Amino acid sequence: MKQSYKSPEQMEQEINRLGLIELLRRLLERQAVRRMEGGTLNDEQIENMGQALMKLEGKIHQLAAGFGLKPEDLNLDLGPLGNTLDK
């Protein structure tokens, strides 16, 4: 496998993208909970969604670890808008 060398700017962009993916995962998770509590999902849909979200969370943790980060390190500061993730 060929080693890929990236500039600090490229690394920062990749970490920011990963942070956005984590934000989207959390939003999807909240929406899934709302739908589940609202009774709009059947048992199979709940199971499938749960499995998919757990898989995505595991992949995000794996990618974050590749950068030497913990998932909570993916919290992006959006200045006056605040942070992307709950503290």
- pTM for this entry: 0.76
Please classify residue 15 by burial: count the beta carbons closer than 10 Å to its beta carbon, then call 0-12 exposed, 13-18 middle and 19+ buried: middle
Compute the mean pLDDT over every residue in the chain, rounded to the nearest whole number.
Answer: 86
Q: What band does 4 get if pLDDT is binned at 50, 70 and 90?
A: low
Question: In the prediction, which pLDDT does 83 show?
Answer: 81
Per-residue pLDDT of 12-42, as tens digits, reads 888 888 988 988 998 999 999 999 999 999 9
| Nearest of 87, 59, 57 to residue 73 by alpha carbon | 87
